């Protein structure tokens, strides 16, 4: 009888996948102290064919590209649609920027000053 090493990640792979990407495959939302950052896979789509919109707190990313090849009259097609609508409050939407690098579009939305985390000092109450 062979002894095999138990690996909990192999036993419950779907649970950990869902924790890593709870909203949509290929879309990740993360926050820093100063920004909300969205990363979406748009492999094979040039920047001119990627549309990013933010309206009423909903981030929409649409990317579409097609290419005809001369070999055997073949056509390649790529399409991506992402929507994210949860907890994007506090962003300065008019200052958002987007850029593509290595098939991933990065959207950076600066947080409003009021939405940024801050530390509050706790003081001892003086008794009279």
- Burial of 44 per CB tally in 10 Å (0-12, 13-18, 19+): middle
Please give the domain boundaries of the chain with CATH numbers for all domains. 23-113 (2.60.40.790)
H-helix or E-strand containing 19?
helix 13-20
Say whether 84 sits in a helix, a strand or coil: strand
State the pairing for strand pair 27-31/104-110.
Answer: unpaired
pTM of the predicted model as reported, rounded to 2 decimal places: 0.65
What's the mean pLDDT when you consider all of the chain? Answer: 78
**pLDDT tens digits for 40-99?**
999 888 999 999 998 877 889 999 988 777 777 787 788 889 988 755 567 778 888 999
């Amino acid at each position: 009888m062979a002894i095999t090493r138990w690996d909990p990640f192999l036993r419950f792979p779907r649970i950990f996948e869902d924790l890593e990407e709870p909203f949509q495959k290929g879309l990740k939302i993360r926050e820093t102290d100063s920004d909300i950052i969205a990363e979406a896979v748009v492999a094979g789509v040039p920047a001119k064919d990627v549309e990013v919109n933010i309206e009423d707190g909903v981030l929409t990313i649409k990317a579409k590209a097609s290419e005809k090849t001369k070999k055997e009259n073949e056509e390649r097609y790529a399409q991506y649609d992402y929507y994210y609508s949860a907890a994007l409050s506090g962003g300065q939407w008019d200052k958002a920027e987007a850029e593509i690098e290595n098939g991933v579009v990065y959207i950076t939305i600066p947080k409003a000053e009021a939405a940024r985390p801050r530390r509050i000092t706790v003081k001892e109450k003086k008794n009279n």
